């Protein structure tokens, strides 16, 4: 098991591999930093949930360390950053944006770089887009996975899809459950979760983290997660749902909040995604103003987790197109002044 260490003085070509706990927004939070060359572009992965860390599954794409300094962060309330002392006052969209901004500044200073590449998954894709739009001088490129755009709209699409699939499959149990549940909007996380479970099952969208044994097996082989950390995952998910669910559902609308991105933007979307939905991600992509370029790539054999479902292809795209965009970014240093 990797031991937490304090970051040490950077040498241009040194490898880095450390866990570090730092305070963001008054709350201690843990990151894992891994790279074969500390001078490589920094890639910050923003996980989903909220409250569902990606750190225990990150070793699937450990090869990214050949091209980036990869940073996985357990956000407040998630995994290694979970604490039973956290309550509703510690959670808001603005607080997560502030935490992300603080962490980016820390990484820029630690690795003497101008900006980072943001890769956001699910809830992290909404967070990442908001951060990228607000602090464009700090973000070299933006990558959205399982892109969340507008959760109420996605829920309506998901319900109609689930109904159609239940009828097509003649699945009476699913159909009866969906009829009893009724169409959204919903008022509790339990209702949303029930629809999500049936939609995923009917569509064959794999990787439901708290129910899928594959996630457990992946987490058990993580080089940075202990049994105690694993126990914290469902606790963090439940805490985040209890404290933050309503604001997430009502407060995210990228069509309105992020109509423009100043950096190159990449959307890697699973064809069978029933959470963010391929349809809404494409609709958002089409309306997004991105003068430095935007790219939409469909992963035909993936659901909501294309970076795990088709990990080889995911790494190839980041190692080529995305890294090239980072290396080519030679615009003036502004983050020191803007911070």
| Domains (range + CATH), the chain | 16-150+213-338 (3.40.50.1820), 153-203 (no CATH)
* pLDDT for the residue 331: 59
Query: What percentage of residues in the chain have a pLDDT greater than 70?
Result: 91
Judged by DSSP in three states, 184 sits in coil
E-assigned strands of the chain?
Answer: 16-24, 27-35, 42-46, 69-74, 116-121, 139-145, 265-270, 294-299
In whole angstroms, give the CA distance from residue 42 to residue 103: 12
Q: Is 168's pLDDT higher than 60?
A: yes
As beta bridge partners, residue 72 has 32, 45
Asked if 319 contacts 66 with a C-beta cutoff of 8 angstroms, the reply is yes
CA distance 269 to 278: 6
Region of poorest pLDDT, from 49-63, 87-101, 211-225, 258-272: 211-225
Mean of all residue pLDDT scores within the chain: 91
Cβ-contact 195, 202 below 8 angstroms? no
Quote the pLDDT of residue 339: 36
Q: Two tokens at 36?
A: 């074969």
Give the neighbor-by-neighbor strand order of the sheet with 16-24: 16-24, 27-35, 69-74, 42-46, 116-121, 139-145, 265-270, 294-299
What is the model's pLDDT at position 12? Answer: 57
Q: Given a cut of 80, is residue 211 above it in pLDDT?
A: no
Per-residue pLDDT of 143-165, as tens digits, reads 999 999 999 999 999 999 999 99
Among 133, 112, 135, 115, smallest CA distance to 331 is for: 115
> Residue 326 has what pLDDT?
86
Which residue shows structure tokens 């909007």?
185
CA distances (Å), origin 254, targets 129, 176, 257? 8, 33, 5
Burial letters 270-298, b for 16+ CB under 10 A, else e: bebbbbbbbebbbebbeebebeeebbbee
Is residue 281 a contact partner of residue 273, using CB atoms and an 8 Å limit? yes
pLDDT of residue 207: 56
What number is the average pLDDT over the span 80-93? 96
The residues that bridge with 43 in the sheet, in sequence order, are 70, 117
The residue count for the chain: 339
Q: Please give the pLDDT value at position 304.
A: 92
Report residue 198 as tokens: 């049936």
Q: How far apart are CA 251 and CA 16, in angstroms?
A: 37
The average pLDDT across 4-29 equals 80
Tell me the C-alpha to C-alpha distance, in Å, between residue 77 and each of 47, 90, 144.
12, 9, 22
Q: What is the pLDDT of residue 216?
A: 80
Handedness of CA 51, 57, 58, 61 (dihedral sign): negative
CA torsion sign, 253 to 259 to 265 to 268? positive
Neighbour count for residue 168 (Cβ, 10 Å):
9
Q: Residue 210: its pLDDT value, please?
A: 47
pTM of this prediction? Answer: 0.91
């Amino acid at each position: 098991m990797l031991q937490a260490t304090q970051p040490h003085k950077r040498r241009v070509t040194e490898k880095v591999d450390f866990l570090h706990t730092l305070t963001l927004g008054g709350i201690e939070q843990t990151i894992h930093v891994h790279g074969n060359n500390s001078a490589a572009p920094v890639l910050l992965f923003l996980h989903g949930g909220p409250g569902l860390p990606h750190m225990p599954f990150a070793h699937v794409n450990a090869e990214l360390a050949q091209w980036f300094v990869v940073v996985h962060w357990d956000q407040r309330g998630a995994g290694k950053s979970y604490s039973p002392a956290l309550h509703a006052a510690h959670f808001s969209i603005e607080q997560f944006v502030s935490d992300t901004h603080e962490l980016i500044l820390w990484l820029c200073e630690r690795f003497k770089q101008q900006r980072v590449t943001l890769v956001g998954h699910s809830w992290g894709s909404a967070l990442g887009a908001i951060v990228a739009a607000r602090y464009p001088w700090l973000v070299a490129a933006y990558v959205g996975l399982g892109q969340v755009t507008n959760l109420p709209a996605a829920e309506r699409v998901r319900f109609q899809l689930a109904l159609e699939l239940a009828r097509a499959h003649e699945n009476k149990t699913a159909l009866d459950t969906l009829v009893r549940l009724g169409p959204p909007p919903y008022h509790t996380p339990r209702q949303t979760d029930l629809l999500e479970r049936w939609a995923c099952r009917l569509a064959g969208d794999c990787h439901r983290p708290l129910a899928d044994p594959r996630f457990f097996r992946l987490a058990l082989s993580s080089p940075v997660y202990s049994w105690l950390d694993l126990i914290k995952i469902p606790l963090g998910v439940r805490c985040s749902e209890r404290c933050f669910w309503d604001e997430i559902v009502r407060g995210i609308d990228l069509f309105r909040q992020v109509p423009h991105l100043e950096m190159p933007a990449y959307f890697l979307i699973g064809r069978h995604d029933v959470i963010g939905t391929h349809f809404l991600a494409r609709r958002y992509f089409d309306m997004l103003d991105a003068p430095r370029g935007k790219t939409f790539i469909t992963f035909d054999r993936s659901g909501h987790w294309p970076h795990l479902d088709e990990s080889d292809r995911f790494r190839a795209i980041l190692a080529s197109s995305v890294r090239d965009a980072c290396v080519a970014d030679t615009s003036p240093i502004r983050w020191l002044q803007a911070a």
